[in-house]
Amino acid sequence: MKTELLLTTEDLRKYPFVSKAFERVRSLNLTLADLASHPLRNVIERAAAYVKAAVNGSEPPPPSDDSEEEVLAFAVALILLKAVGDRSLTRKLAVIFSRRVGRFLAGEDLSKLVYVLSELGVKARVLQAKVHGYPVAVHVLSYLESTPERAGHWKLVHRLVERGWVYVSKLEAARLGEEALKKFIERKVEEIKLDEVSMPDAVYRLVEGLSAEWGARIKELRERWAPEGLEASEDAFPPCIKAIVEDLKAGKNVPHSARFALASFLLSIGMSVDEVLEVFRAAPDFNEKIARYQVEHIAGMRGSGKKYTPYKCDNMRTLGLCVAECGVKHPLQYYWKALRRQKAPSAARGSRARRGPAEAPHLVEGDSNGPSTRPG
Amino acid sequence: MGQAPDPVKVGRKYFEWYYRSADPRDFSVTSLPSREFAFSYFGEEGMRRHISFGGLEELAEHLRTAIPRHAFYSTAYYRDPGAKDMEEKGWLGADLVFDIDVDHVETPCKELHDKWICKSCGASGWGSVERCPRCGSEAIERHTWVCETCINVARDEVLKLVDFLEMDFGFSRHELLVTFSGHRGFHVHLESPEVRELSQDSRREIVDYVKGLGLDARFLTAKTRGGYKLRYEAPLGWYGRLARWALIKVGSENPVLSLSEWRSIVEESVTREAAAVDEKVTIDTKRLIRLPNSLHGKTGLKVAPFSVDELENTSIIDRAKVFTEGEVAVRLEEGPKRVLDVDLGSGGVLTLPTYAALYLLLNGAKLLKFEQR
Ligand code: SF4
Ligand SMILES: [Zn+2]
Ligand SMILES: [Zn+2]
């Protein structure tokens, strides 16, 4: 079969997520208790090392020489993530693990690369002859779902697109694989059904330890990026948010999308519902009851209990709310940066600062869904 | 002297006749039991949502007996479409849909049928304005109407969209379901399984693509001696569209130009080739949209389905008008000068085709008489 030809056992060390690897895990029919016991202890330790790397934001340990151990450790790492139960930690591991896989992929020959992509649900094919220098075509919908950015040369309008296919370089194909793997890992963890009752004590204690470490780490990050005692500062607002505030103050009719953007932004920087309402009071059609209901809804205090995250710059642009090119992806990112520039001591600089406020994932993650469901 | 007719009573009577005589199969919708339905009824404010049906017969029965003024269904599929709460509904996926509406497009005929009134200073006039030309207020009340010209403008936008969907996105025109919205535009539905789980981000990117949003000359061109050229010489994607406009504007498909000259070609090309879709509708994966072959409660026109080929060579209004029999004598006190395919001149006592008279009535024209002939 094609699979067998394309992926060797050696490859499973690098790509422990392919279906062949998962089948292997299943066929072994092991329980967590088996893994926690002595001869298989390495697997658990390796899995924990992966999760710890995610906690610390460091490089994951290199793959084990033993492909079986690696495949099992990967599967167990996902189980540990599920048990810790914090999606931002899952995302962290997804990021560092996928980055490594991206590097492996970039070194493969094209047919193997495309095979791994297909395992991740990315429809792609190797071209018989290059098209404008591009060796690979990726199906446009796969491309859209896995593109690392929707700006610059990744933005679809800037690509060579032909009847459902986007032409990409080998490096770009590897990068698409990296992004697809991130989502794949998050989805897998989501799907795991965990029976905590039957979890062996040793594993349970391990999970507790990891959770505590992650909790401490989050607290540290929060303090670094949104130091307490810093008041929400209007000066640090990005231009788009400032513009909405000014429109409100000028008594202009501000569209629903802008109100949503503003409210979710203000809530995200730590304002209370009452403080947000004060800002909206300037609106010509201000109605305390309705406004409170809406703001509480956005804050996740009503309805589905889902806290809405503010729009990304991409969304703002599409909605016609972006008024500048700030070189950030998220208005919040602009805000945290500006705030630190204004007030924070130099402690937050250096290598971590370079990576920027994306380090505070719990603040900006998730899809921005404005409340919707109106008839079209 | 007649007396002012009641749109609720009259409208309901006509709609009832339509829904009673319609073939239930006209209302068939793929995966019907997984969709949410929503209706508003004659004489009732607001909309009733979270309705679901086990099958086509149930839906047809509801239409026959409840006679909705407006009928919608969800572009989304749900595990439990009748549940009140989004969480409980269990979203399973959504069609990819596009909404094209002349509300957002300038058409010459708006001077003939659209009116605006400033809520701040009371000024008013024909046509369509963003803000009051007298006092600058954005608080504008609009009375909008639709005529054949508007519909043809919207149709052209749909054909531009179809070009993107076929040539760039690789969909086949046979997968596309196009419906007249029953008012001032069209809806384009794609129901293939591969689009159902597309994220909102991807849908937004598709919108940006068909609208030409974010096109940036810096990424489309490469530096060469004496200026910039298109990065690729290929009749593909936006590069093909830009080459076409470069040829028209400067006589060559890939001339050496400055960045700002390229920018104006980009602008030109976007104005001419981009499809004016309403991004909110495409991005929203929990949207309600009009049920094909239902009637629009403000026009009495049918949400008529079209294949792309039909769209190119059939009269939209002929397919959309339902009440074509007989005539109605009306007395039009105040209203548009032209609607659909009918000239109204300056109003007064008129004998109109039934569908036109009903449209006037349902959309709130000042009528003092409505007598079926
Ligand atoms: S780039 Fe982002 S932060 Fe800046 S104005 Fe636009 S949306 Fe706001
Ligand atoms: Zn005015
Ligand atoms: Zn018109």
Phi-psi region of A59 (alpha: psi -120 to 50; beta: other; left: phi over 0): beta
Assess whether B361 and B335 both reside in one domain. Answer: yes
Of the pLDDT bands very low, low, confident and very high (cuts 50, 70, 90), residue B107 is confident
Assess whether B67 and B127 both reside in one domain. Answer: no
Assess whether B188 and B266 both reside in one domain. Answer: no
Assess whether B186 and B294 both reside in one domain. Answer: yes
Of the pLDDT bands very low, low, confident and very high (cuts 50, 70, 90), residue A369 is very low
Q: Taking CA atoms, what residue in B is nearest to A147?
A: B202
Q: Answer whether A187 touches B (CB < 8 Å).
A: no
Assess whether B96 and B185 both reside in one domain. Answer: yes
Residue B135 counted as domain residue? yes
Residue B153 counted as domain residue? no
Amino acid B315: pLDDT? 94
Q: Answer whether A152 touches B (CB < 8 Å).
A: yes
Question: How far is Cα B6 from Cα B41, in angstroms, rounded to an integer?
Answer: 15
- Domain range for B369: 324-373
Can you say how many angstroms the Cα of residue B95 is from the centroid of all Cα atoms in its chain? Answer: 16
Residue B157 counted as domain residue? no
Assess whether B77 and B11 both reside in one domain. Answer: yes
Amino acid A88: pLDDT? 83
Give the ipTM: 0.92
Region B250-261: what's the mean pLDDT? 94
Question: How far is Cα B139 from Cα A108, in angstroms, rounded to an integer?
Answer: 61
Residue B151 counted as domain residue? no
Q: At what angle do helices B7-21 and B56-66 cross, to 10 degrees?
A: 150
pLDDT exceeds 80 at position B70: yes
pLDDT exceeds 80 at position A139: yes
- pTM of the full predicted structure? 0.79
A31 three-state secondary structure: coil
pLDDT exceeds 80 at position B195: yes
Residue B28 counted as domain residue? yes
CATH number at residue B68: 3.90.920.10
Assess whether B311 and B337 both reside in one domain. Answer: no
Share of chain A above pLDDT 70, in %: 84
Q: What is the pLDDT of residues A307-346, one digit of tens each?
A: 778 888 988 888 888 988 888 889 988 888 887 776 544 4
Amino acid A2: pLDDT? 47
Cα atoms in the Cβ-side hemisphere of radius 13 Å centred on B77? 18
- Residues 285-344, chain A, touching B (beta carbon < 8 A): 303-304, 306, 314-315, 317-319
Using alpha carbons, list the distances in angstroms from residue A220 to A22, A56, A228. 36, 11, 12
In this predicted model, which residue has the larger pLDDT, A284 or B20? B20
User: How many separate domains does chain B show?
Assistant: 4
Residue B353 counted as domain residue? yes
Q: What is the pLDDT of residues B233-245, one digit of tens each?
A: 999 999 999 999 9
Of the pLDDT bands very low, low, confident and very high (cuts 50, 70, 90), residue B1 is very low
Assess whether B92 and B43 both reside in one domain. Answer: yes
Q: Do B230 and B242 touch, CB atoms closer than 8 A?
A: yes
Amino acid B218: pLDDT? 92
Identify the residue among A157, A316, A368 best suited for mutation to test binding to B, counting B beta carbons within 10 A and taking the highest. A157
Least confident residue range of A72-86, A108-122, B57-71: A72-86
Ligand nearest to the CA of A313: 1
- Residue of A150, A163, A312, A328 whose CA lies nearest to B216: A150
Assess whether B89 and B121 both reside in one domain. Answer: no
Amino acid B72: pLDDT? 98
Q: What is the pLDDT of residues B139-175, one digit of tens each?
A: 999 999 999 999 999 999 999 999 999 999 999 999 9
Share of chain B above pLDDT 70, in %: 99
Contact B232 A252 (CB under 8 A): no
Assess whether B240 and B358 both reside in one domain. Answer: no
Of the pLDDT bands very low, low, confident and very high (cuts 50, 70, 90), residue B86 is confident
Residue B70 counted as domain residue? yes
Least confident residue range of A167-171, A313-317, B49-53, B366-370: A313-317
CA of B123 to the centre of ligand 3 (A): 22
Name the residues of B annotated as catalytic. Answer: 99, 101, 278
